[in-house]
Structure 1
Amino acid sequence: MAIGVAIIGGGIFAREEHLPAVQASKDLALKAIFSRSLKSAQSLSTDSNVDLYSEDSGSGKSFNDLLERSDIQAVIIALPIRIQPIYIRRALSAGKHVLSEKPIAENLNDAQELIKWYNGSIDCKRITWSVAENFRHLNSFQYAGEQVHRAGRILGFRVRVHSMVKPGGKYYETEWRKNPSHQGGFLLDGGVHYTAGLRLLIGEDTVSRISAYTNQNQRHLPPVDTVDASMKTKSGATGTLSISMGTTFTGSEWAIACEGGSVSISRSTITTVFDGKEEKVDIQDEKSGVPPEVRKWGEALVAGERNEKQIPEEALADLEILEKMLKSGEANGQPMDCNLQV
């Protein structure tokens, strides 16, 4: 029997990614949508079988009213970074399974406090909290990670993700993104995808130490839009991670050098060089990775389990790398240790 689910949030990502992913899942049945305004909730769905809740809908249509419904067992929360933990706590306290969007919180202190509260106040075996990170569900990255593991000890890596976020873009014109109250601005919102991708590729040889420099190239992208970091893994391998949302450079590069060869990703093409032999394999991703992410969440709920790729500790490790990059940048490159990697 399908799990009754509600989507919390009426933004772009909920509309373009979460809604179709829920509708495509055989294990999930969309029952309700909540957003700050009724207009926003209506923008997600006009299906008469989906009930709409909002802060301006009056009596009986609040978030608390939604949480009281016994036919809704789970919620997907896609709200601005700063307020999301409030809704996570309220939903879990009401006995609802939660899939919350990345990042897990706006900073490590809040994230660790939230995890501690969850483990101490909620029956974690009965009520699950998962954190969404669609990069962990990209076929290309999963395949590349397997090839890195096959290639043996990591010798080094370089990751570069560069773009220009311009005024007028659909994500930029979201008020909480345009005028961020959270650290890093777009670097936090988008950057945790790239730290998650790096972590997936290097596997158990986790990042242990980081030194970074940051800069704000574009006035419209406060507080910083660029970070360049040098990293060391626990085995001693070194590498770089460069992220910019405000540069005229474009494109991305993901490359891992291993004892047995190298592995790189360019769009959907994975290139391996083992024993001097180059091989290119095209691995198609399922859209953004959100459809399999939501589908596997639903499958785990029906099975009474949790998806290990979605545990809060994974999202905490993504955030730790990003925050340590930003903090090191604030301290003019001072090295920062990573102690929360899994």
Structure 2
Amino acid sequence: MSTSVGTAILGAGIFAKEAHIPALGFLGDAAAPLKAVYSRSEKSSRDLADFAATTLKLTTPPDVYHDGDKATDLDALLARTDIHSVIIALPITLQPSIVLKALAAGKHVLSEKPVAPDVASGIELIKTYNSTYKPKGLIWRVAENFEAEKAVQAAAEAIRAGKIGKVIFFKAVVVNYIDKTSKWYLSPWRTVPDYQGGFLLDGGVHTIAVLRTVLPHRLTHLSGFASLNKDYLAPHDTIHAIVKADSQFHGTVELTWANPTSSRSTADGFVITGTDGWLTVDHSWQPKPVFRVVITSVVKAEGEPEREVEEVIEHPINGVAEEIGSFFRAIGGQNEAGFNLGDPLEALRDVAFIQAGLNSNGQLVDLIDLVPSTLDV
């Protein structure tokens, strides 16, 4: 991309350092140059800038912006004409207001999931974008890296190609262990969350994004229960739900951050079952971080016994780079066929699922009623 205009990262937390900066390095010239970083504190902003300079091999660190000085605050950063976009990785309840501030300043925006802390605020945010900023040609995407993983998209393509026949049921099981020493728990806004669901919202939307991407029909109804099993993970740490895709198929979703030990459950992952086979999706970090899809197709030939054919698809975990690269290509006017990465309305449906799971208490919730099909105004 042109070096005359660049991007900025707003937020200097763990994900900015461990995911966004390395992703920019992976993309190289396909990404806009990082020209500035912002955090509420000068120290964290300066630390991120120094880390970026080392990781990206910059001759000079990106400019440092922080609160407390009008010359270096967020407004000053957004006033720069040489920055055409921002990547936002701030606390969940703060992000919507910063998304609007950046759009109002004429910047393209990639904001981290979830799109908003709840459905109501998400609807208003998307309506404002659609009515005020989208007509101006500004691009806003929600960074949901699981939907961008090549293996997840390959799973979706396999299902649409009929490799397992017609989907008839599914299950998703995600088991996590969080203790008080976890780097994810120690972020102050996670320790005392001011948004529904705690880790269930922050991390659970990933699971729903995978289902949304791979399943051929939208999930329409949910009945479930939520609970708190570890007091320090308040307000909730576990959801169990039965889910339906209208008259098409049904399945179960188990989400927990309350596993008693750090060892992962062997049942962790996704299983999509069809009339002619099944497909699994899981990921592992050893010996290298990968997403793996295993497709088992039942082959039926007249006069021969049924047989199973297995296909394995494996891709390195690289969803953050994929979503950022797609964002910059969209800014450059490249219309990409296939998956519509980062659609705020689709990301809101992920939030709606978690919200329904938290509030159902066994009652049937209509997910379609929660989020209208269009939010044009």
Alignment TM-score, normalising by the size of structure 2: 0.85
**Does the Cα contact within 8 Å between 1:34 and 1:52 map onto a contact in 2?**
yes
Task: Choose 103-112 or 116-125, whichever is displaced more.
Answer: 116-125
By how many angstroms is 1:139 displaced?
Answer: 1.7
Structure 2: how far apart are the matches of 1:125 and 1:254?
Answer: 40
Distance change (3 Å), C-alpha of 1:20 and 1:311: same
Deviations 1:256-279 (A, max 9, x none): 111221111232332222124141
Structure 2: how far apart are the matches of 1:180 and 1:247?
Answer: 20
Backbone CA RMSD of aligned residues? 1.7
By how many angstroms is 1:215 displaced?
Answer: 0.9
1:333 aligns with 2:359: no
Aligned length: 336
Deviations 1:80-134 (A, max 9, x none): 0001111000000110000000000000000000011111122445111110000
**Does the Cα contact within 8 Å between 2:49 and 2:63 map onto a contact in 1?**
no
Task: Choose 107-116 or 133-142, whichever is displaced more.
Answer: 133-142
**Does the Cα contact within 8 Å between 1:15 and 1:43 map onto a contact in 2?**
no
Which residue of 106, 116, 119 maps to 1:108?
119
Structure 1: how far apart are the matches of 2:190 and 2:280?
Answer: 31
Structure 1: how far apart are the matches of 2:273 and 2:225?
Answer: 24
Which residue of 184, 189, 192 maps to 2:202?
189
Task: Choose 88-97 or 40-49, whichever is displaced more.
Answer: 40-49
Task: Choose 261-270 or 302-311, whichever is displaced more.
Answer: 302-311
Structure 2: how far apart are the matches of 1:54 and 1:114?
Answer: 25
Structure 2: how far apart are the matches of 1:263 and 1:32?
Answer: 43
Structure 2: how far apart are the matches of 1:61 and 1:243?
Answer: 41
Aligned twin of 1:135: 146
1:297 aligns with 2:327: yes
Q: Which amino acid aligns with 2:183?
A: K
Distance change (3 Å), C-alpha of 1:153 and 1:84: same
Aligned twin of 1:87: 98
1:30 aligns with 2:59: no
**Does the Cα contact within 8 Å between 1:217 and 1:247 map onto a contact in 2?**
no
Q: Which amino acid aligns with 1:238?
A: H
1:266 aligns with 2:276: no
Gaps of 5+ in 2: 54-59, 284-290, 299-306
Structure 1: how far apart are the matches of 2:309 and 2:238?
Answer: 33
By how many angstroms is 1:341 displaced?
Answer: 7.8
**Aligned 1:1-342 pairs, distance under 5 A:** 1-2=2-3, 3-25=5-27, 26=29, 27-46=31-50, 47=53, 48-56=60-68, 58-124=69-135, 126-149=137-160, 150=162, 151-203=164-216, 205-248=217-260, 250-251=264-265, 252-267=268-283, 268-275=291-298, 276-287=307-318, 289-303=319-333, 308-328=340-360, 332-339=361-368, 340=371
Deviations 1:128-183 (A, max 9, x none): 11100000111221111122222332100011000111111101000110110100
Deviations 1:302-322 (A, max 9, x none): 226588211211211111111
Structure 2: how far apart are the matches of 1:87 and 1:163?
Answer: 30
Task: Choose 38-47 or 22-31, whichever is displaced more.
Answer: 22-31
SS of residue paired to 1:196: helix
Q: Which amino acid aligns with 1:165?
A: I
Structure 1: how far apart are the matches of 2:134 and 2:354?
Answer: 30
Deviations 1:248-298 (A, max 9, x none): 3733120011122111123233222212414141412244x1111111211
SS of residue paired to 1:320: helix
Distance change (3 Å), C-alpha of 1:174 and 1:49: closer
SS of residue paired to 1:207: coil
By how many angstroms is 1:234 displaced?
Answer: 2.2
Distance change (3 Å), C-alpha of 1:125 and 1:311: farther
**Does the Cα contact within 8 Å between 1:23 and 1:29 map onto a contact in 2?**
no
Gaps of 5+ in 1: none
SS of residue paired to 1:173: coil
Q: Which amino acid aligns with 2:363?
A: Q
Structure 2: how far apart are the matches of 1:323 and 1:7?
Answer: 29
SS of residue paired to 2:90: coil
Structure 2: how far apart are the matches of 1:274 and 1:53?
Answer: 54
Structure 2: how far apart are the matches of 1:124 and 1:221?
Answer: 41
Q: What is the aligned-residue identity percentage?
A: 35
